[in-house]
Structure 1
Amino acid sequence: MKILAISGSGRKESTNTALLKTVAKIAGPDHSVSVFSDISELPIFSPDAEENSLPHPVQTFCTLIEESDGLIISSPEYVRAIPGGLKNAIDWLVAREEIIEKPIALMHASHRGEDMLEQLRLVLSTVSNGFTPNIFLRFALMKLSPDEIHQEIITPPNRQKVNDFLRDFTRCIK
C-alpha cells in the first residue's frame, strides 16, 4: 500500500512532519509511507495558473497524490484555522481528478486544534468522497523536538497505535 503523508506545516522542525517521518520509518512491510513536507514550496493558487501547464512544484505534488493509494494529513492549527500553506495546497487540487476518490485520513500531533480539525474535515469531505473522518490518530507531541517525537512514537504502545491506524486505513482503501 503506497501512502503519501502530507505535513500541513512549513516549519523545518515541524512537530507534524516529525510525526509523519517517524510513521514512515516504523510502517510495516505492507505500507510504503512517503512524506511530503514542501507545502511552503507551492506557489499561491490562482485559477489562471491552471490554464497552461502547472507550476513544477504543483505538478510534482499532484503526481505524488495520483501515484498514492491514500493520503494521511497531519497539520498544526494556526489562529484556530487551517494553515494557509495547507489550504493553498488543497486549493490547487479542487478542480483536479487526483483528489476526488482518494482515500484520506487524519493524524494530529497536538492535544488541541479542534477548530482546525473541524474545518479540515469539512474541506476534505468537500474535495474527496474518499475522506474517512472516523480514521484518526492523535498524539500530544507539542514542544517536543523531532528526536523526542521519534522516541515517543516508537514506544511499544504508540507503535501499536500507528500500526492499528495504518491497518484500519488500509481496510478503507481496499
Structure 2
Amino acid sequence: MRATTRRVLCLSGSLRRVSSNTAALEAARRLAAPGLELVGYSGLGVLPLFNPDDDVEPLPAAVLALREAVGRADALLIACPEYAHGVPGAFKNLLDWLVGSLEFPGKPVLLLNSAARGSYHAQEALDEILRTMSAQLLTTHPCKVSLPGAGCTAEQVLASADRCAELRAALDNLADIPPRL
C-alpha cells in the first residue's frame, strides 16, 4: 500500500519581512514528518480589499490563487499575530475572501500561537471567525510555540529543542486528517 501525503497550506497572518509567525510555519515545514507536505502561502499582501461586489466571476487573480491553494490543501496551519487585541486587518481580509468560497467550509484547521507572552485576544477572535466560517478546528486551543517575539527566524526556532518539540507536538494534530480525494 502506498503512503498518502497530506498537503497542509501554511497561512501566516503577518506581513512583516521577518516575522515570528512566518518563522514558526517555516520551521514546522522543515520538521514535518514524512506524509505531511507543508506549503507556504505568500499572497497575503497582494489580496485586494474585500468587497462583496467583487466576489463574482471572474475573481481577482490573487483571490482565485488563494482559493485554489485552499482547495488543493487537506488542511490549513495558521500562525497569526495579535494587533491591538485583534486579528490583523490583512489576515481578516484574507478570511473574508474565503467566506463565500466553496473550498473552505469543513476544512481542517490547526492554529499556532507563537507569542511568548500569551497572546489570546486575537486567538479567541480567530477561533470565533473560523467556527463561523465552518472550519473544522483540530484542537480546542491554539498550539503554543513560545517564540522570543518579533523578528526571529526559522533557524532560531530550529536551534531550540523546546521549540522543535512544541512544533512536532502541534504537527501530530495533523497526522490523522483525511487526504483529499
TM-score (norm 1): 0.90
- TM alignment of 1:108-123, pairs within 5 A: 108-110=113-115, 111-123=117-129
Give the CA deviation at 1:135: 5.9
Moved more, 9-18 or 132-141: 132-141
Give the CA deviation at 1:144: 5.5
* Residue of structure 2 equivalent to 1:27: 32
Give the CA deviation at 1:35: 1.2
In 2, Cα distance between equivalents of 1:89 and 1:33: 19
Q: What is the CA deviation profile of residues 6-54 of structure 1, one whole-angstrom value per residue up to 9, with x for unaligned ones?
A: 0001111111011101111121111100111331111000111112211
- TM alignment of 1:18-167, pairs within 5 A: 18-110=23-115, 111-134=117-140, 136-143=142-149, 145-147=151-153, 149-167=154-172
Tell me the amino acid that sits aligned with residue 62 of structure 1.
R
Moved more, 1-10 or 153-162: 153-162
Q: Aligned-pair RMSD on alpha carbons?
A: 1.7
* Residue of structure 2 equivalent to 1:170: 175
Q: Indicate conservation of the 8 Å contact 1:3/1:72, yes or no.
A: yes
> Percent identity at matched positions?
28
In 2, Cα distance between equivalents of 1:51 and 1:144: 37
In 1, Cα distance between equivalents of 2:60 and 2:138: 29
Give aligned pairs, total.
Answer: 172
In 1, Cα distance between equivalents of 2:22 and 2:47: 17
In 1, Cα distance between equivalents of 2:161 and 2:82: 28
Unaligned runs of 5+ in 2: 1-5
Structure ranking higher in helix proportion = 1
Tell me the amino acid that sits aligned with residue 74 of structure 2.
D
* Residue of structure 1 equivalent to 2:3: none
* Residue of structure 2 equivalent to 1:4: 9
SS at match of 2:175: helix
